[in-house]
Amino acid sequence: MELFQVRYFLALARTLNFTRAAEACNVSQPALTRAIQRLEEELGGPLLHRERNLTQLTALGRAMLPHLEAAHAAAESATSQAAAFRRRDSEPLRLGIDATLSARILGPALRALQERIPGFEFGLAEAGSSDLLERMMGGGLDSAILVEPAKPPERLDRWRLFGDRYVVLCPEDHPLTALDEIPTAALATESLLMREQSSDFEQAAERLFTAAGFAPKPRHRCSGEDQIRQMVAAGLGIALSAEHGDPGAGIVARPLADPAARRDIVLAAVAGRQHGPALAAFLKLMRARDWRGQENL
Amino acid sequence: MSLEDELNQLRIEHQTDEKLQVAYRDLLSRLDRAETGQRALKLGDAMPSFILPDAEGRLVASDELLAKGPLVVNFFRGNWCPYCLKTLKALEASLSEIQAAGGRLLAITPDTGRHLTDTKRVQRLSYEILSDVDGAVGLLFGVLFRAPAAYRQVLAGYGIDLAERHGNESGFIPLPATFIVDRGGIVRYAFVDIDFTRRAEPAEIVAALAKLRDGSS
């Protein structure tokens, strides 16, 4: 596969017209056609079919389009990336992370970017996954670490990073800490600290409990992860949280025994948007990382 | 034993696996028809610069490495490929000679995540392993291709899931290829073969580096 073949194909996919694609690529139509034929040979089938005046992508063409777009975009930016970094050409990287996850998940990637890019800047937002998703689709965030959405928008690229179990946060001396895993039923008799009802996490937890035939009764309501942890440490009750949330002083986490009590954590970015050099590097770092150490309790 | 001897042993072992042989011959004939790799970087070409993550989670810039001396850039498919493993280990065994001849070794793979770190750790490799996420660098070097469906199916039969390894469903893998690039970024040695059982011999790489260093290339 050659870069120029990919470029010609992308022009064809955009224009659906051999003449206009050749013009856009500054080559003769026969040259473009030949290049596409060789690409088709390599990809294993026709990428376009022509019916009278109508040129359309085949199923293979449609399937390969996003991969060829990704490879092309990465190739085009590769050569200019080093120069862009030196020129401090990057906008601040706007990231988001689900409020129930520890920001430390981003630490190594951000440090690698800081080491590589002079003047590197990032902005980090913390919110529920549905909020982060909305902000991303609206152009307010470049990328986010989220809980896999139940109904992912079509234009969202997602890459699974690791699985995340629901855990129970208890004070260090709590009897539940004697167990390796907590059965859902054990929560019934506890003083339960919960987040606001509108929180994504509590809504997901509620769905989980309903499926298990359990209706948790919140004793107290808190705002945000830090308050939850402080109140657990102060002995006001126990709380549900995420395995990859921040730990807290004076508290212990134990996973829920229910095998359904887990969620997938994904890296997300909007598809088809031109990625700046810092964003491209960030996504690569996150996708290349060995997240395996993250998966065990 | 040279790397070629070791690879030949593997070829002989695999000869009895009929399914593998059919897939192998099919792959080679497709790559031949598609002229894959025929426009790969060759002697005198300028290497495009790139920045990729390594197995330690750092970003590695080719420009920065080139400033320190010639690079030996080795593309490999992944630690699922026994020919790749033999090659990676042979390069490790020759590493001190490569370095003495002035070269720095870089291995590039489409693998990501635990496959990347496992390769480095299990094979005890001390040189840089970079992850070519989405295949841009392979594409720029002219060695990238899409593994045909039949070949992907055979691999799946052996439990090799390219989509999981790469973090995408493209099926893009590189031809195994080795390039030596001088400090000016110019290619001074290129080994590209559509036959994945054939690899650049480390002794040849060392000799090419020595010629470069001695200015007689």
What value does the mean pLDDT take over residues B174-203? 97
In chain A, residues with a C-beta closer than 8 Å to the C-beta of B66 are: none
Cα dihedral A162→A163→A166→A170 (10° resolution): -50
Asked if the domains at A93-162+264-295 and A164-262 fall in one CATH topology, the answer is yes
Q: Are B57 and B49 in contact (CB under 8 A)?
A: no
- pLDDT score at A217: 83
- pLDDT, one tens digit per residue, over A61-117 is 999 999 999 999 989 888 788 788 878 766 899 999 999 999 999 999 999 999 999
**Interface contact flag, B34 A70, Cβ < 8 Å:** no
Q: How many CB pairs below 8 A link A and B?
A: 129
**Interface contact flag, A81 B50, Cβ < 8 Å:** yes
Q: Which CATH number is B26's domain given? A: 3.40.30.10
DSSP letter string over B87-152? HHHHHHHTHHHHHHTT-EEEEEES--HHHHHHHHHHTT--SEEEE-GGGHHHHHHT-EEEPPHHHH
Tokens, residue A84: 């862009």
Tokens, residue B92: 């490790």
Q: How far is B1 from chain A (nearest CA, A)?
A: 34
How far is B84 from B198, CA to CA, in rounded Å? 10
In chain A, residues with a C-beta closer than 8 Å to the C-beta of B169 are: 67
Nearest to B172 among A67, A287, A288 (CB): A67
Q: Is the pLDDT of residue B108 over 50?
A: yes
Query: Tokens 């006001």, residue?
Result: A236
How far is B127 from B148, CA to CA, in rounded Å? 31
Q: How far is A38 from chain B (nearest CA, A)?
A: 6
A67 touches chain B (CB under 8 A): yes
Task: List the domain range (segments joined by +) for residue B114.
Answer: 3-213
- pLDDT score at A296: 43
A97 touches chain B (CB under 8 A): no
Could you tell me the residue ranges of all domains in chain A? Answer: 3-86, 93-162+264-295, 164-262
Number of domains composing chain B:
1
The amino acid sitting at B193 is: D
Residue A197: pLDDT band (50, 70, 90) is: confident
Q: Which residue of B has its CA nearest to A277?
A: B51
- pLDDT, one tens digit per residue, over A109-156 is 999 999 999 999 999 999 999 999 999 999 999 999 999 999 999 899
What value does the mean pLDDT take over residues A157-183? 95
Q: Are A242 and A231 in contact (CB under 8 A)?
A: no
Whole-number mean pLDDT of chain B?
95
A289 touches chain B (CB under 8 A): yes
In chain B, residues with a C-beta closer than 8 Å to the C-beta of A72 are: 139
Query: Tokens 């001695």, residue?
Result: B214
**Interface contact flag, B146 A42, Cβ < 8 Å:** yes
How far is A186 from A178, CA to CA, in rounded Å? 13
- pLDDT, one tens digit per residue, over A32-67 is 999 999 999 889 899 999 877 788 999 999 999 999
Question: CA A204, A205, A209 angle in degrees (round to 5)?
Answer: 120
What value does the mean pLDDT take over residues B145-153? 92
Beta bridge partners of B29: none
Q: Which residue of A has its CA nearest to B142?
A: A2
- pLDDT score at A294: 62
Longest dimension (CA), chain B: 49
What value does the mean pLDDT take over residues A174-182? 95
**Domain A93-162+264-295, classified CATH 3.90.550.10, yes or no:** no
How far is A120 from A78, CA to CA, in rounded Å? 18
- pLDDT score at A297: 34
Give which of B58, B128, B139 to mutate to test A binding, by max A Cβ within 10 Å.
Answer: B139
**Interface contact flag, B113 A81, Cβ < 8 Å:** no
Q: Which residue of B has its CA nearest to A290?
A: B113
**Domain A164-262, classified CATH 3.40.190.10, yes or no:** yes
Nearest to B51 among A67, A281, A289 (CB): A281
Beta bridge partners of A122: A93
**Interface contact flag, A44 B148, Cβ < 8 Å:** yes
> A3-86: which CATH number, 1.10.1060.10, 3.30.300.10, 1.10.10.10, 3.40.50.970?
1.10.10.10
Q: Are strands B104-109 and A156-171 parallel, antiparallel or unpaired?
A: unpaired
